[in-house]
Amino acid sequence: MVTPIISPDSNSPQTTPSPFYIVGIGASAGGLEALERFFDNMPANNGMAFVVVQHLSPDYRSMMVEILSKRTPMKVIEATEGIEVKPNQIYLIPRNKNMTIYHRNLYLSDKDQTRGLNLPIDIFFHSLAQDLGPYAVGIVLSGTGSDGTRGIRAIKELEGMVMVQENSSAKFDGMPNSAIATGLADYILPPDKMPTELCKFIQHPYVALKSEVDKFTDDDTLGKIMAILRTETGVDFSGYKINSVQRRIQRRMSINQLEQAKDYVRFLQRSQQEVQLLYKELLIGVTKFFRDPEAFESLKRIVLPRIIQEKSPYDSIRIWVPACSTGEEAYSIAMMFAEYLEAQDQLLNVKIFATDIDKNAISYASSGLYPESIVADVSMERLQHFFIKKENKYQVNTRLRQMVIFARHNLLTDPPFAKMDLVSCRNLLIYIKPEVQERLLTFFHFSLKHQGFLFLGNSESIGENTYLFSSLDNHHRIYQYKAGYKLPLPSTTRDHPSQSIPRERRNDLLMLHENKPSYPSYPNSQVLSQKRLAEMILTSLSERYIPTCIIVNEENEVVHTLGPVEEFLRVPRGEMNFNLSRMLQVEYASVLRTAIHNVLQHKKELIYDFSSLDIRENKSKIIKSHVFPLFPETIEPQLIAITFESQENFNIEAYKKVDVNADFTQHVNDLEKELQYTRENLQAAIEELETSNEELQATNEELLAANEELQSTNEELQSVNEELVTVNSEYQYKIEELVDVNNDINNLLSGSHVGILFLDADLRIKRFTPNITNELYLMEFDIGRPIQHISHNLKYDNFISEIKMVIRKQEKYEREIESKSNRWYTVRLMPYLTTENQVQGVMITLSDITEQRKERQSQLFLAAIAAALDDAIIGQNLDGLIISWNQAASKIFGYAPDDVLNQPIDILVPHELRKENDALSKKAFSGEITKQFNTVRLGRNGHLVSVKIDILPIADENKIYIGCSWIIRAPQTQLLTTQKNNSEADHQLAYQLLENSVAAVLVVSPEGVISFVNQQAEEIFEKPKEALIDSHYEQLPWVVSEGTDDSLEKSADVSELLNDPQPFYNQHRLLLCQNKKILHLRVNGAPLLDKNGKIYSIIFSLVECAEKKP
């Protein structure tokens, strides 16, 4: 098949072979039924190739080739090494193998037994995506576990198409649910609906033509789509590469079977669901743990030591992972840092800020729950160290989860993070326009600390922005912040934020703005000025009339101050902290901390006189402090006010009488005693806890070891269970086939008239048909008994001995045996052979040939009568060959039967008369009779014989002419001598043959009077010979039909032969017996002609038949 492709550089079309789609189908437990339903509905000439990857047992031969071949006319092949994939064919993975595809050829490899869980579907899907790109289709059908989930991510990343079985139609929904959870499925359908949609998809113009022509020549159309997306999702995709956006829009149009972009715009305007699907299509987040392992190893070797060596104990390491998708990259970096810090025995606080624009992806990443297919990317050591196995999934443990903070963040519009040691942004820039890429790189430069590091994807680079970063490993895209370049803070302000920020994001920003200490802005400037004036008045009056006041919240944090507080508060060193205990001067801290606690607990005001004393150069300053709740109890959160009032020129002597410091000292002593008591109790509790902790640690280690063993065992059992389910499905299918075959055989055997008996190798009865019980005395309960124990009705003395000979010599025996009931059978004894040609018993068949034997004897007697006649009777078939030859013919022409049988009849005809002879034969073949024709014929020695010929046509039972009979008479003078010598002997021979025939024989005159009957005729007509002779043949008790025994009819056999003197065979007649029983007879009749060609007698043979002839 060729498809015209328009070259970007030429207006003339050219032809090139069009690549075809290859459909990878992954199935496990319950997949057989799904595959049958899928291929039942898939047209044979669909132009696609199908590769089926199943979880197969390594110990059992798969029957999938045979099973699927019955469901589709397409060729089904088990894949072999290097086989080329062709359209309209199905390829199956062999057992105990993994399979990949390269340049449309399949390659096999042994399963990796060291990896534990094997994921053949993911392996094939990944190679399919790499080899076919947009021509790859991945289908996930019924199965347990999550195999196929990683593979469909790879297919979607390279613009392939994904279908998943609807979970309600799957026998096992583990694999479908895992694939659906990724949000990457283009279609979610039952298997019987998939073929129709798949064929529609590949036949869509955008998909079938794969044209590079711009489908959006109207910029307004693409702009409308962008506007709809921005309005509904708050994301502006104008920074993304146009070609990438167009291809993904076209893919959605193909799935929805829309050919015009303007129609798709209308569809988006009507369907909120399609807007979300297109949004997800454009935000394809394809990632995995430790993607590009060599790049991560380089990062570990180059970057981690440089970051950590500059840190002091308990310092923080700050990392930003923008566009983190579902979190695998962020967790990978977290694991790498955790392992490195453990190896270096260092305690550092690692904080990884992982952000993405997709809230569903952030939610998924925050859950930290991943399918078990991650075992292909994460080593067993890391799985055991950082994950917890939950059924068929892996949960990130608490330690790793606390290292990562996930948040929604639009990299193109929201401000960047700052003071980062490392920024890891992999495989995002490839989807962004060059000018936007440069802008993002400036963001990353701003975010990094001096000497910070940038980690990009393998297909990305910093381009010409070498003034921002220096390269540490160009191959693995590791860069370092370049100092000396003063970069301004990037602006992220947009003209219309309300149109681009999602509604929920706008609410968040409003809340942040309202929490700021400054007042919100008002549109009315007069109101704003009044507000500011009131604030200025309040501040001025508070400085003059309100005592110094500190407002704290329930957490003991300072939230507001009034008046000069410098005397009572101090700014702590190091990190800024608003805790009152750290900010108060030391002489106030203890008392006020206790006071605040009491006020919060009892909701009452406390007054401290002389709570602190300052004596400077005989000057006294007494402080009076009030501590009270600021608002009523109903207001939350609760705020506490602490006021300070000073009294100067106080009498120092009087003050000394009131020894506040003594009270304070006593309070401190009491607290120290209580603290000491608490410490002792705490130490005892710690020792007890340490002992318990050691015991629990030992128990925990044992449980972990046991849990690991159980997890490993569970994985193995799950894998084995999937394989057994697949094998069981195939066997169930085979059993159903065998049941059908068994029913067919049973019906065939019971419906046939052949008795069959099966014996095993020990000559014990295995099975038999009902017909054999007529002569062998068998019952159902005789199965399993030796054949020697069974009585029979056959006159067959060597029956058992010949059965044994069959086993020993492996030969077949066939005999015609008479039974004691005077019936004849063909008995066949044959070895019972297996498919491996091994003898495992004997098969015995009994075919009733009684009727055939009687008919054969009757025909022999008729032939004997014909042989005894003076007239030569020669049979000729339609090919002109002699097929019968009697003794009279030998007397006339001198040929023995062996000399002329199967020879052309022309050997008896002179050359000049052969055309005449052919004409006579043709008349006979058309049903015309020739009588008393005088001519000459050739004898053996070439002498001419004058003869008189009658030619009678011969027809079968369906009245179709199959030949003719030549009745030839020679002049009496030529045969007189021979007749005198043989006449007496011939008549005697004929009499003996007729008398001893097993058929009833009657000789009737042309007038219908019976002149001869044999013994068998006496038995059939139930009359003695004397009563039959001289009676009329037509007056015998013939019956019209069964059930009408009172309606006797007159036979027309005699009159028919007189009118048409040619033999007839197998005519069915009904005879009424004396006991009113109807007897079915098969009648043959032949006329006997004298020398003048006139009928002088008619001979009838009658044979009883078992049933009425149809």
Q: Which residues contact 899 (CB under 8 A, 6 or more apart)?
A: 940
Q: What is the pLDDT of residues 398-427, one digit of tens each?
A: 889 999 999 888 888 888 888 899 999 988
Catalytic residue list contains 498: no
The CA distance from 404 to 412, in Å, is 22
Q: What is the pLDDT of residues 358-387, one digit of tens each?
A: 888 888 899 999 888 888 888 888 998 999
The CA distance from 580 to 572, in Å, is 10
- Whether the Cβ atoms of residue 1061 and residue 1095 lie closer than 8 Å to each other: yes
Domain 856-981: assigned CATH number:
3.30.450.20
Q: How confident is the model at residue 980 (pLDDT cuts 50, 70, 90)?
A: very low
Catalytic residue among 28, 127, 729, 997: 28
Domain 999-1110: assigned CATH number:
3.30.450.20
pLDDT at 1109: 43
Catalytic residue list contains 147: yes
Catalytic residue among 57, 62, 131, 147: 147
Q: Could you tell me the two tokens for 425? A: 């942004």
Complete DSSP assignment for 601-658 = HH---EEEEEEEEEEETTEEEEEEEEEEESS-TTSSS--EEEEEEEEES--HHHHHHS
Picking from 199-203, 624-628, 854-858, which range would have the lowest pLDDT averaged per residue? 854-858
Is the pLDDT at 520 greater than 70? The verdict is: no
Kindly report the number of other CB atoms within 10 A of residue 982's CB atom. 16
The CA distance from 99 to 101, in Å, is 7
H or E, element range at 828: strand 824-833
Domain 2-208: assigned CATH number:
3.40.50.180
Looking at domain 293-481, does it have CATH number 3.40.50.150?
A: yes
Is the pLDDT at 117 greater than 60? The verdict is: yes
pLDDT at 974: 46
Domain 546-658: assigned CATH number:
3.30.450.20
The CA distance from 12 to 30, in Å, is 52
Tell me if 2-208 shares its fold with 753-848: no
Q: How confident is the model at residue 216 (pLDDT cuts 50, 70, 90)?
A: low
pLDDT at 648: 60
Which range among 297-301, 575-579, 666-670 has the greatest average pLDDT?
A: 297-301
Please give the share of the chain, as a percent, with pLDDT higher than 70. Answer: 79
Is the pLDDT at 89 greater than 90? The verdict is: yes
219-282 belongs to which CATH class? mainly alpha
Is the pLDDT at 454 greater than 90? The verdict is: yes
Catalytic residue list contains 59: no
* 652 or 1034, higher pLDDT: 1034
The CA distance from 626 to 88, in Å, is 92
The CA distance from 1081 to 1001, in Å, is 12
Catalytic residue among 55, 126, 204, 476: 55
Q: What is the pLDDT of residues 1046-1095, one digit of tens each?
A: 455 556 677 777 777 778 777 888 888 877 788 888 888 888 877 677 78
Looking at domain 753-848, does it have CATH number 3.40.220.10?
A: no
Closest of 842, 848, 845, 855 to residue 823, by C-alpha: 848
Name the 3-class secondary structure at 754: strand
Closest of 241, 248, 168, 237 to residue 206, by C-alpha: 248
- Whether the Cβ atoms of residue 623 and residue 606 lie closer than 8 Å to each other: no
Domain spans of the chain, in order of start? 2-208, 219-282, 293-481, 546-658, 668-702, 753-848, 856-981, 999-1110
Q: What is the pLDDT of residues 146-203, one digit of tens each?
A: 888 888 888 988 888 999 999 888 888 888 988 888 888 889 999 999 999 999 888 8
Q: Which residues contact 393 (CB under 8 A, 6 or more apart)?
A: 146, 369, 370, 371, 372
